[in-house]
Every structure is written in C-alpha cells, then in structure tokens.
Amino acid sequence: MSDKAILTIDGKQYEFPVIVGTEGEYGIDISKLRALTGHITLDPGYVNTGSCKSDITFIDGEKGILRYRGIPLEQFANGPNFIEVSWLLIFGRPPTTEEYREFAEELTHEANIDEGMKHHFNSFPRKAPPMAILGSMVNALSCFHPEFLDLDDEEKFYAAAARLISKIRTLAAFAYRHANGLPYLYPNPSLKYVPNFLHMMFSMPYHHYECDDLTRDALNMIFILHADHEQNCSTSTVRMVGSSQANLFASCSAGINALWGPLHGGANVAVMEMLDRIHKGNVSAEEYVKLAKKKDSGVKLMGFGHRVYKNFDPRAKLLGEIAEKLLPKMGRKDPLLDIARRLEELCLKDDYFVERKLYPNVDFYSGILLRAIGIPTNMFTVIFAIGRMPGWIAHWWEQKHMEGAQINRPRQIYTGNGLTDYVPMPGRKYPKRG
Ligand code: CMC
C-alpha cells in the first residue's frame, strides 16, 4: 500500500501522507489540505473523519471486534472487575495487585460527596430527568474541587480520576433517591464498588440491601461493556470540550449530556419502551419490524444498527448471553427477553436489515438485564454514564497530551445569504410566516 495519496484539483496534483494504524487501518492525513489547496473536506456526521490517533480502544466494525488496550472484550467476561478495567483504560495496562488495591482504596475513600452538594439535590424538581441531574452535579464537582481544575501532573490526574469514578456512582444514586422522595444514604466503606452503588440505591435506614453475587457480576459486566467505545458521540464531545483546556469535570459533564440523546446512550430506554409496547399488545413484533422499514413512519427499530458495527456488536452478543443465563438463575423470567429474541430473529432474516447490515447493538439487551437487577428505566442511561466514565477520563487525558494538541475547531461550507444589507425595522416587508 502506498504511503502517499494524490489529489488532483484543477489539474494540479497534491500529495498527502497515508497514516497506518497498528491493526492496518489506513487514513489520509489532510491536516495541510486547506493550506495547500484552499479546500476543506465536507463530511457531515464525521462518517469518514478520523479526529485523532488513539491508543485506547480498537474496533473493527466489519468483524465485530472490540478491544480495550489490545485486550478483546470477550476476555473480560469471567475475569476482571470494572475497577481493574477502568485502570487499564486510563493508565494503559492492567494494574499490579498493589496498584489495584491502592486504586480501589482511593475509590472507597472518595465515595462520599461534599455535604454542600447534597443540598443541590433538594432544589431539583422531583420529576427532573436523572441524566439532567447527573450532568449538572458532575459539572458542580468543579465548584467543590477547585484543586483539580488544573491537572498538570499525573499524581493530581490520578486523584481526580479516582474521585470522578467513585463519586459519579454516589451522585447517580442520590438522583434516584431524590426522584423517589427517599433519604440519601452515605456510601458504606465496607462494600465494593458495585454493591456499594446498589446499597446507596436500594437500602433503607431500617433495611440493608443485600447484593447477591449474580447481581454484582451482572452489573459489573454491564459497566465493563460500556467502559469505552473509541470516538463515539459523547467521547468525542469530551475530547472536543477538553481541547479548549476546559477542566475534567466540565468535559465529562458535557459527555453525559451528549450521551443522553436517544440515538446514543438514551437508546436503551427507547428499546424498553418499544418492547413494552409490543408486550402490551399495542403492536406485534412483526408489525413493528414493518413500521421500522417504512421511511415515513418515523419509527426505527431501537437497539438495532450502529455507525461502526456492520456485523454483530460484540457487546450485544455478550449481554444477550448473560441475560439468557442470568435471568433464570436470578429466578426472573422476563417476557421482554422473549420479545427481543423474536425481533432479533425476524430482523436477521429480513432483507432490509441484512442489506443494511443492521444488527443488535449494546442497548438491545442491556435494559432487560438492568430491569432484572431492579434498576428503573429512567436510570438506564445513568448506568451507561457510570460505565463510560473511565473511557471519557482516558480520552480526556490522551487528547491533553496528544502530539500537536490544539483546540478542536471544524470548518464549514457556508450556504447562507450572500452579502445582504441591514434594513431598519419599519422598512421590513416579508411574506407572513407559516
Ligand atoms: N431501524 C430501521 N432502519 C434503520 C435503523 C434502525 N434501527 N438504523 C439504520 N437504519 C437504516 C437507515 O434508515 C438507513 O436506511 P437507508 O439507507 O434506506 O436510508 C440505513 O439503515 C443506514 O442507516 P444510517 O442512519 O445511515 O446509519 P448511521 O450510522 O447514521 O446511524 C444509528 C446509526 C445507531 C444512529 C442508527 O442505526 C439508529 O438510529 N439506530 C437506532 C438507535 C440506536 O439503537 N442507537 C444506539 C446506538 S449503539 C449505542 C451507542 O454506541 O451509543
């Protein structure tokens, strides 16, 4: 393969270097394109645009491969926990026993939030969406931890990363308690990451929630499967905001807001609404698939399709298998799992989905598992955010130390008015709107 790409404009040839990734991915480095030719590239939705080089996560969407720091996702299925995977993503390799112990202790130590932050929860309306609360409160960490606004050295970054991973779980649980009019419960330092989160969600002052091993392992795996996914919408947002040298809390808060949308992290909620509609008999699985194929119906098969995967999303595969194994063991039969399997079966043999390479994505099965754990639907995207936090942190740090790091500032092709004179208000005459 040539190490140069040649572009011809108006008969003049320009050469651009071809960059090759570790796994043989090719990219044309067009960073000098405008300076040399006066042209820019137009790529709405960034379908073909590599915004950076990254060492963190590798995806081969054609083959359904996902690796964190080179390690295939499938190898996390029976081994490490979320804290170990968080360390791996942020610091580039798995931790030693000592490093793991120290990091886990730091998380336990930092789980509580400033008492002043608790009062903020009371001023949110009861019906406030938990994602709105989470985004606001992660941003508010900037007010309570001014010592981490400038993360100049690795020690400080380590401390800030530990705080974010630990505190987001407390903030998430408090958002839930507030919405349900329940007392806030302090983190319990004798509990590990996942049981401590579920304790803050579900214990009562008069009753301790006991987290069984199956529930712990299932939620642990859900966090791991969501931990990073290279340059997705929220991670690109974190990198974009971070590129202006905004602090880590502000950048991750922006990531939470990007994740909220139904085409990104919010899809797991939309999947459950879709399955529920089918379950209630409002529409059959077959009718739903028909609707999803009709362009003017405005309906999509939620939890299906992916910008990068043109094959099975490996996360969906693992989650489907976990749901299949765990639900019976947990003594929970969920009719929505049968509906999901039926939809999957219908789509995998339907030309529309086959031709467009639309397969189940991570959101297709995650909701069913979360429901089995007892997590309410409006907290699903919040769980996604807790899981994605180490990925956001790793990317924020990576972009900060990128060779030639600069503010991210895309260009545009302007298609508005040509030069137009300002007309004072009394002289304006336009056709009536609408
Ligand atoms: N149901 C029906 N048709 C679909 C769907 C779907 N879920 N997804 C894509 N298509 C069609 C789309 O209409 C288009 O058809 P045509 O070529 O005839 O115009 C074709 O497939 C290509 O789709 P696209 O919109 O160009 O694909 P994209 O890469 O821009 O969008 C997506 C990817 C995930 C936004 C889209 O597949 C979608 O909206 N899926 C449903 C929402 C969803 O599950 N989102 C979660 C994504 S995974 C979690 C995450 O990483 O955030």
Largest alpha-carbon pair distance within the chain?
79
| Residue 427: per-residue pLDDT | 87
The atom of ligand 1 lying closest to the CA of 264 is 52
DSSP class of 95: P
Distance CA 208, CA 222 (A): 23
Rounded distance from Cα 348 to ligand 1 centre (Å): 15
| Residue 322: per-residue pLDDT | 87
DSSP class of 291: H
Rounded distance from Cα 388 to ligand 1 centre (Å): 21
Task: Indicate if ligand 1 lies below 6 Å from the C-beta of 198.
Answer: no
3-state secondary structure 116-131: HHHHHHHCCCCCCCHH
Residue 141 CA to chain centroid, in angstroms?
A: 20
| Residue 28: per-residue pLDDT | 97
Print burial letters for 151-171: b (CB count within 10 Å at least 16), e (below 16). Answer: beeeeebbbbbbbbbbbbbbb
Active site residue 178: no
10-residue stretch averages of pLDDT, the chain, 434 residues long = 93 97 96 97 96 97 95 90 97 97 96 94 94 98 95 94 98 96 96 97 95 92 96 98 97 98 89 93 92 93 92 90 84 87 94 95 90 92 97 98 93 97 92 84
| Residue 230: per-residue pLDDT | 97
Are 365 and 344 contacting, i.e. CB atoms less than 8 angstroms apart? no
Active site residue 199: no
Helix axes 82-91, 213-225, angle to 10 degrees: 20
Task: Indicate if ligand 1 lies below 6 Å from the C-beta of 358.
Answer: yes
Distance CA 360, CA 64 (A): 11
Give the three-class secondary structure for 17: strand
Rounded distance from Cα 305 to ligand 1 centre (Å): 5
| Selected catalytic residue, list 120, 229, 306, 395 | 306
Q: Compute the C-alpha angle 138/261/358, nearest 5°.
A: 135
- Strand runs labelled E in 139-223: none
